[in-house]
Structure 1
């Protein structure tokens, strides 16, 4: 059954990512860039000052809410995951180095998109009698389309995100942890799965406060560790850095020179890989991170909007770009094993390790990638579980949240032990489907976003 279903899901994903996803993501981002007079440029400095000017490992927020930085850390925890390592490598392997350029394009316009998402999440959130705050796309979808249409789109979104992030997405993340940790440390994947599931369960059941307290400490530390490792490789390989940037720009518009085939087909592959993996990485336009930004305790929605932009910048223009530079400079430049095209035995799951191994050796590279993926993937599991739980509560009520958490723990364990291409494809498919109702609501509510921007 799985073998029969896989090609069907792959066909749906190809259509979504090659056509609908590219136009929607770039369309929404371009639309908001123009309508906001390029808020991602004008207010970028304000966003950086707001994030790093009041940096703290112990943010304080009201009960049921988060500080602005905690909300950003939770959003970045969701954004910086396997997509920054495995996803970036997959995009390069399939679409060539030029796919990174299209990831940058998606991210640049995505910064305007995520500004709108965060503002709308703040404006439309609701406060319950117990003081808890609930917000996210389902609430601004209702605002955009009152009545039956809004209800249908909101339910569709809630189901898609629960399946994509709460179940299959967490399996994808825990599978990366299990595989890399098993290879690096020689520990059976099922033991890794038990440990990860137990720790995740402890955090899941602790609610918003526990997730916020962990992500605000974990995210800066994991980013610093990974960035330091990448910079060391680039310093050791400095003579290939200019060539690396040249390849990214050249193959963005001439991908057939590396991928083969016609120019049009190769360009479509490069762009679609950039769009698909760009979405999976920074999540701008997908509708996931607004759940975190809705919980931020800020004076004005605009404050969280400019904070949210920093998350996309950190994810794509820093973390993902460093991965790309390391991989391309070591594997695709002169002397690299992929300099003349695809090499046997190279896959998206081992590309980063091969790149780091070319400088540090197999042992250190294996451990470094395993530890990096452990931090990245585990933090993503925590955030994605929170986002899915908010939607489960919307669909079935507060009592269903704990049941969902227990089921999610089982999926985390199973994911660490099982590797299945169908799970990856299904996660991609529901990620893609989430974009549609979210993007429609973003188009419909542009005047509301602009009102708060003008304020």
Structure 2
């Protein structure tokens, strides 16, 4: 059965991640970037002040909401979104991209991230603009809602919007078991087994993988069954800690190898444009592999274009769509430009990759390659460090994606069905611990691509709405050329009334 699944998935993956998908992903980012006049560059100070720097200046972005409210703080929303995006893609995914696509894959990850910032921004703006309250009084938003209510409101597009919304939700629910569950859990178990050199079996035929899988399932169940408030509470504590220890470790490695940085940059740019000392068709193959792996691992890491993180951003207590959009820009920036780059430099300046030819001088792959690279400077303790980092990154991703899948299930089958989904999700954690590495990655890649298709169609067709909301916000809040403009806070009449009432109560 596994062999058959592998064949079917490979066939679908070849289509989903072909040239048309790469064109769709990058062109969406380019269109949104140009349409908003390079917002991520022009308004760099604004979105940094509103997001990362606001954590230290303002209390509202990380303050917990009142007990009677069902939303979460902006900082909790970011933490949960980062929990889902900062995962094994930042460690194992980056090293795998370098092994297959060469150093040049890193450059195309940067390109993916630069334009992906505005794709993610647009998703968040639309998510807040078209979100609604569910039967429990919780905010529900995401691609399925802006496809249903945004695209569906356009003339002759009602059925198309509903169809794409259902399609996205199905792909998202299934993707949650791949990218957000089994792939992550597999990396946790593999890194722990390798780092601590655990035996093949513990008791009888029971393996360490099974024991780790059961423990992870129990821990996840305690949080997941508590809903978004519990998930947000846990991730706002895990994410800053896990990101800090990993950044310290990789930056230390970078400083210790500072002399090789120019050579690493040279290898990245040579690899990106096929300037290595090879001839003929091999050049084209190298460029194709670099671009393909750069985009695939870039999307796997930061999820820009998938329409996934918008579901948790939509649960935030924020009122302005553009504000949460800017958190989306920071999310991609931090995930790929910062964390993925540090991983790439850790591998490339280790000596395990020949920077001239691109030859891999190690038999390690995934997180093991990163571990080996760090071990050259820190000794055997590096394996334990990477194992802990992978475990924290991956476990937080499992928590974040459980929420995405829950929201997709809620859209398709209603809030009552989410309990069954959560139970199945937790059970799949055990299966993920024993799953094939290649098959886990391949399935995750396929589901990523399938999710992106309806979402990107929605973003492109609703780009005019995003441009109008952004222009409105810039006129009121940034340039202040039109401070008396009416805020564009929601595209749903019932939500508009509720927001107007709350803003009147708050004196805004």
TM range (shorter): over 0.9
Deviations 1:159-178 (A, max 9, x none): 11111113563011011111
Superposition RMSD in Å = 2.0
1:10, CA displacement in angstroms? 2.1
Q: Are 2:242 and 1:222 aligned? A: yes
Q: Deviations over 1:356-399 (max 9, x none)?
A: 111111x2111011000011001100000100100001111111
Which residue does the alignment assign to 2:151? 144
CA contact (8 A) 1:21 1:276 kept: no
CA distance in 2, matches of 1:221, 1:405: 26
Q: Give the equivalent residue in structure 1 for 2:329.
A: 309
Counterpart of 1:200 in structure 2 is 220
Map of 1:157-168 to 2, 5 A cutoff?
157-167=168-178
- Contact 2:353-2:359 at 8 Å conserved across structures: no
Asked if structure 1 preserves the Cα contact closer than 8 Å seen for 2:352 and 2:361, the reply is: no
Structure 1 alignment gaps of length 5 or more? none
Unpaired segments ≥5 residues, structure 2? 199-207, 473-508
Return the alpha-carbon distance in structure 2 between the equivalents of residues 129 and 172 of structure 1. 32
User: Who is 1:71 aligned against?
Assistant: 77
Q: Are the aligned partners of 2:306 and 2:455 in contact in 1 as well (CA < 8 Å)?
A: yes
How far the C-alpha of 1:344 sits from its partner, in A, is 5.7
Partners of 1:96 and 1:259 within 8 A in 2: no
How far 1:340 moved relative to its partner?
A: 6.1
CA contact (8 A) 1:227 1:319 kept: yes
Q: Deviations over 1:287-314 (max 9, x none)?
A: 1111011111113111111111000000
* SS at 1:284 equivalent: coil
Q: Is the contact between residue 256 and residue 262 of structure 1 (CA under 8 Å) also seen in structure 2? A: no
**Residue 455 of structure 2 aligns with which residue?**
438
Instruction: Answer yes or no: is 1:295 the counterpart of 2:299.
Output: no
1:118 is displaced (CA, Å) by 0.4
Deviation at 1:275, TM superposition (A): 0.7
Q: Partner of 1:417: helix, strand, or coil?
A: coil
Query: Is the CA contact (8 Å cut-off) linking 2:78 and 2:327 kept in structure 1?
Result: yes
C-alpha distance in 2, partners of 1:357/1:5? 36
Query: Counterpart of 1:239?
Result: 259
TM-score by length of 2: 0.85
Instruction: Identify the range of structure 1 (262-271 vs 438-447) with the bigger mean alpha-carbon deviation.
Output: 262-271
1:370 to 369, 383, 387: 387
Q: 1:321 to 1:186 in 2, by over 3 A?
A: same
1:405 corresponds to which of 415, 418, 422: 422
Instruction: Mark the CA change 1:411 to 1:136 in structure 2 (over 3 Å): closer, same or farther.
Output: same
Count of residue pairs brought into register by the alignment: 452
Instruction: Give yes or no for the alignment of 1:18 onto 2:35.
Output: no
Q: Is the aligned partner of 1:348 residue 2:345?
A: no
2:124 equivalent among 118, 122, 133 = 118
Return the alpha-carbon distance in structure 2 between the equivalents of residues 41 and 252 of structure 1.
23
- Provide the residue aligned with 2:376 in structure 1: 358
* 1:331 partner SS: coil
- In the TM superposition, residue 438 of structure 1 has moved relative to its aligned partner by 0.4
Cα drift, residue 259 of structure 1: 10
Query: Could you say if the C-alpha distance between residues 44 and 400 of structure 1 is closer, same or farther in structure 2, counting changes exceeding 3 Å?
Result: same
Which protein, 1 or 2, shows the higher relative CO under an 8 Å CA cutoff with sep ≥ 6? 1
2:500 alignment partner in structure 1: none
What's the secondary structure of 1:285's corresponding residue? coil
* Correspondence for 2:404: 387
SS of equivalent to 2:366: coil
Aligned to 1:177: 188
- TM-score, normalised relative to structure 1: 0.95
1:87-106 alignment, distance < 5 Å = 87-106=93-112
**CA–CA distance in 2 between the matches of 1:372 and 1:255?**
35
SS at match of 2:349: helix
Distance 2:361 2:414 in 1: 51
* Whole-angstrom distance in 2 between the partners of 1:420 and 1:166: 15
Q: Which piece of structure 1 moves more, 295-304 or 13-22?
A: 13-22
Instruction: Pick closer, same or farther for the CA change 1:256–1:10 going to 2, 3 Å.
Output: farther
Deviation at 1:428, TM superposition (A): 1.1
> Partners of 1:344 and 1:330 in 2: how far apart?
11
CA distance in 1, matches of 2:187, 2:113: 24
Partner Cα separation in structure 2 for residue 417 and residue 9 of structure 1: 19
- Provide closer, same or farther for how the CA distance between residues 257 and 11 of structure 1 changes in structure 2, counting only shifts above 3 A: farther
